[in-house]
Structure 1
Amino acid sequence: MRYRLQEMQRHTVRREKSMTKKIIFFMMAALLLAGGCGTNEPDNILLEEPAQEFLDRAPDLPEEDQEQSEGQESRTIYVQVSGSVAEPGVYELAEGSRIFQAVELAGGVLEDADPGRINQAEVVQDGQMIYIPAYGEEGPSPGGVQQEDGRINLNTATEAELMTLPGIGASRAGSILGFREANGGFSQVEDLMKVEGIKDGVFSKIKDSVKVD
Structure 2
Amino acid sequence: MNQWIKKFQQKWYVWALLALGIVLFLYSNREQEEAPSLPIQLTQATEQKETKEEKQALSFVVVDVKGAVVRPGVYELAENARVRDAIALASGFTKEADQTKVNLAAKVHDEMMIYVPVKGENAPTSASTSDGKEQIDINRATVEEIQKIQGIGPTKAAAIIAYRQEHGPFRKVEDLLNVSGIGEKSLEKMKEQILIR
TM-score by length of 2: 0.52
Q: Secondary structure at the match of 2:13?
A: helix
Q: Does the 8 A contact of 1:85 with 1:103 survive in 2?
A: yes
Deviation of 1:69 (Å): 4.3
Could you tell me how far 1:22 is from its partner in structure 2? 2.0
Find 2:3's aligned residue among 13, 20, 36. 20
- Describe the shift of the 1:111–1:123 C-alpha distance in structure 2 as closer, same or farther (beyond 3 A): same
- Trace 1:6-155 onto structure 2 (pairs within 5 A): 17=1, 19-47=2-30, 69-71=50-52, 72-73=54-55, 74-138=58-122, 140-141=124-125, 143=127, 144-145=136-137, 146-147=139-140, 149=169, 151=171
How far apart are residue 150 of structure 1 and its match? Answer: 5.9
Q: Secondary structure at the match of 2:189?
A: coil
Contact 2:109 2:171 (C-alpha < 8 Å) held by counterparts:
no
Most deviating of 91-100 and 41-50? 41-50
Give the structure with higher Rg (CA): 1
Conserved 8 A contact 1:151-1:211: no
- When residues 22 and 67 of structure 1 are mapped into structure 2, their CA distance, relative to the original with a 3 A threshold, is closer
Q: Which amino acid aligns with 2:60?
A: T
Aligned-pair RMSD on alpha carbons? 3.9
Distance 2:16 2:93 in 1: 86
Q: How big is the shift at 1:88?
A: 2.5
Question: Residues 152 and 96 of structure 1: is their aligned pair in 2 closer, same or farther, counting only changes over 3 Å?
Answer: closer
For residues 34 and 93 of structure 1, what CA distance do their matches in structure 2 show? 70
Taking only the aligned residue pairs, the percentage that are identical comes to 25
Deviation of 1:42 (Å): 2.4
Is the 1:188–1:212 Cα contact (8 Å) retained in structure 2?
A: no
Q: CA deviation at 1:50?
A: 6.3
State the shift of 1:33 in Å: 1.9
Q: Give the gaps of 5 or more residues in structure 1.
A: 1-16, 154-185, 192-209
- How many residue pairs were aligned? 137
| AA partner of residue 70 (structure 1) | T
Shift of 1:114: 0.4
Kept in 1: contact 2:64–2:73 (CA 8 A): yes
Q: Structure 1 residues 89 and 149, CA, compared in 2 at 3 Å: closer, same or farther?
A: same
What is the identity, as a one-letter code, of the residue corresponding to 2:189?
S
The SS at the match of 1:79 is strand
Question: Distance in 1 between the 2:111 and 2:17 partners?
Answer: 78
